[in-house]
Amino acid sequence: MSDGSSISSHDGHGPSFTFYPAIYVLPTHLSLESLHRVEECLLNRDARLTYDPSEARVFLGNIGQRKRAILELRSRGVCTELEMRSVPGGVHVDGALDLGTETESDGQTNQSTGHLKRARSSDAEVDGSFINSDLIRVVRLGWLEKCVEEKDLVPMDQYIIYQGRRVQHPDDKATKGSEILHRAQQDVSRPHRGTTHRGTTHRPPKLYKQSTSENEDTPPPAPDWVTNHVSYACMRSAPLHPPNERFIDQLVKIRKVRELTLDEIGVRAYSTSIAAIAAYPCEFRRASEVLALPGCDMKIANLFAEFQQSGDGSLVAASALDTDPVLRVLHHFYRIWGVGAKTARDFYYARQWRDLDDIVEHGWNSLSRVQQIGVKYYDELLEGIPRAEVEEIARVVHRHASAVRPGVECIVVGGYRRGKEASGDADLVLSHRDESATHNLVVDVVSSLETEGWITHTLALHLTTSTRDQQTLPLRHDTGNHFDTLDKALVVWQDPSFNDTSPSTPEKKKRNPNPHRRVDIIISPWRTVGCAVLGWSGDTTFERDLRRHAKKSRGWKFDSSGVRERTSGGQVIDLERGGETWQEREKLVMEGLGIGWRPPGERCTR
């Protein structure tokens, strides 16, 4: 690590912290810029930085009080007992478990010990006894500054605010215990690269760094939404393939694990983080860049550090999805249409099933009808639908819709509209400028398609406005009644036409080789078509934040069927009146909601 180019990565004259234990920088009382500067400084000097408090042994921070230090540690789940003995000449404090009753003793107490050891530590042996121990230290930032100033390692002693030894969590719950155990097991099974066992600590990628220039380390200026702390995904542009896509893929896998383990809050948290990262316009180079994003904190920054230092860009927690035998099976079941996390777990734990064959063999009759369909077409429904085929499906649906309602419009929404190369399903919105034309439209379109053989199964029919309006209020069917969601049909689709090349056996019809597809047909009255299209075009987090933003900033309730006041009896807010086309109307809604317009290709929050 010390060849000619070490000059640049060491500023030409800095001490090396190579032999120091993992360092965690306490963000408290530090601006983001300062935090970044400190991190940069450490990285330049080969320090092992970590964002995982559980593996850090040096906590560097802009704090002065021991009480504060203990607080900082505890808030990060680091429980310690005071340990002063190994500080040369250190004040031996008994009754070590004082966690916060102290008021007068601060860093100064320990500093009285500083002179003694200074005599015997002026070189690499500095802090040696500490380095080879399992002690935890909270150290004032001044230590680093001093090291830089002296261009050499300086003993920590004068700067130690607190020193302790890890103890077991006093409130260690079963869940936490098993989590730790789980992590430990993962660590064992994890193929460690290289010679280290440093977990998620990371070093600067040497070769990479050395070949780059002086201001290599200055991260690109943060985008507006970072500096302004814009925390709504619907107010940022997130492209289909963002620069940090590989990291996002890993986080998405972790989120999937959270789904499978019924951790809804974890799912939401990861979704928020992912959405922010998906909007970030350049590749991260430092974990501190991650830290600056709204919705991302130490946990995510730490995962990025792991991502960066792992040779193959994989995260242990993400790999579990393919590695862990339980998660593998749960995931397998979860991908059956009609089976969610609860049912997948039920299949595994209660029924003791392990694959689709078990389901078919031992539980077929206990499945719901749609679950049977989901199992039957398991592989085909998981295949993505190429864009050309989505367009084809849309043409057919439009043709049938036009036959029953001339003048109807068919809008492809969903992943297709965001630009995805292959969609999980085809989402289509049907609308008509004549509102009366949308009544019973789903039913008419679906039966027409069924008759012609395009729809093989109807998984669900949601009939709300049409039937009810017509039954209860035939005279004013469309006036103001927006308290319901849209009519829709969730169907299984298959192109009925195929080459019957060998009519040699006329009795036996040849099996249709075309894959089964999932198609959603949504009906929207024209007056809210902008809302429908907006509500059906964004990724989940985009849509979630749309609603959150409408609520927080306007006191409105937004969904694909319209916008209304949150007050009881909520007045309908018509934001799209005046828009001639559905595109214009969607834009009016976005502007009216105060999020500004952005094309569907920039609503990819993952």
160-166: strand order across its sheet: 23-26, 58-61, 135-140, 160-166, 80-82
- Which of 338, 363, 384, 601 lies at the binding interface for DNA (CB under 7 A)? 338
* Range 494-523, binding DNA (CB under 7 A): 518, 520, 522
For tokens 């680091």, name the residue: 78
DSSP-assigned letter for residue 333? H
Residue 183 as a binder of DNA (CB under 7 A): the answer is no
Instruction: Say if residues 77 and 36 touch (Cβ distance below 8 Å).
Output: no
559 contacts DNA (rule: CB under 7 A): yes
* Count of CB atoms situated within 10 Å of the CB of 202: 22
463 is an interface residue for DNA by CB under 7 A: yes
CA-angle at 174, arms to 170 and 180, nearest 5°: 85
Q: Burial-class residue 208 by CB neighbours within 10 Å (0-12, 13-18, 19+).
A: exposed
Interacting residues with DNA between 231 and 260 (CB under 7 A): 231
Region near DNA per CB under 7 A, out of 39-47, 129-137, 479-487, 526-534: 479-487
The residue among 395 and 551 lying less far from DNA, judged by its C-beta, is 551
Sign of CA dihedral 336, 340, 341, 346: negative
198 in contact with DNA (CB under 7 A): no
Q: Binders of DNA among 365-424, rule CB under 7 A?
A: 366, 368-370
CA distance 547 to 541: 10
Helices (H), 18-90: 32-44, 66-75
DSSP 248-282: HHHHHHHHHHHHHTT-HHHHHHHHHHHHHHHT--S
Q: For DNA, which stretch binds (CB under 7 A), given 220-228, 324-332, 415-423, 538-546?
A: 538-546
Rounded least distance, CB 231 to DNA, Å: 6
Does 461 interact with DNA (rule: CB under 7 A)? yes
Nearer to DNA, 231 or 456 (CB): 231
Q: Tell me: does residue 294 bind DNA (CB under 7 A).
A: yes
CB nearer to DNA: give 106 or 520.
520
- The one-letter amino acid at 209: K
427 binds DNA, rule: CB under 7 A: yes
Distance CA 297, CA 302 (A): 9
CA dihedral for 261, 267, 270, 274, sign (positive or negative): positive
User: Would you give the binding string for DNA spanning residues 259-278, x where CB under 7 A is met?
Assistant: ------xx-xxx-xx-----
Angle between the N-to-C axes of helices 325-334 and 245-260, in degrees from 0 to 180, rounded to the nearest 10? 90
Tokens 């969609």 correspond to what residue?
A: 423
In the complex with DNA, the residue whose CB is nearer, 35 or 160, is 35
* 297 part of the interface to DNA, by CB under 7 A: yes
Out of 98, 102, 484, 495, the residue judged to bind DNA by CB under 7 A = 484
Q: Please report whether residue 460 would count as binding DNA according to CB under 7 A.
A: yes
Cβ(55)–Cβ(199) under 8 Å? yes
- Choose one: 57-65, 138-146, 342-350, 395-403; the region binding DNA (CB under 7 A): 342-350
Min CB(263)–DNA separation in Å: 9
Of residues 139 and 234, the one with the C-beta less far from DNA: 234
Count residues binding DNA (CB under 7 A).
54
Using CB under 7 A as the binding rule, whether residue 340 contacts DNA is answered as yes
Q: Please identify, using beta-carbon distances, which residue of 146 and 335 lies nearer to DNA.
A: 335
Burial 88-120 (b: 16+ CB within 10 A, else e): bebeebeebeebeeeeeebbebbeebbeebeee
Binding site for DNA (CB under 7 A): 229, 231, 265-266, 268-270, 272-273, 294-300, 336-344, 366, 368-370, 425, 427, 460-464, 483-485, 488, 490, 518, 520, 522, 536, 540, 543-545, 547-548, 551, 557, 559
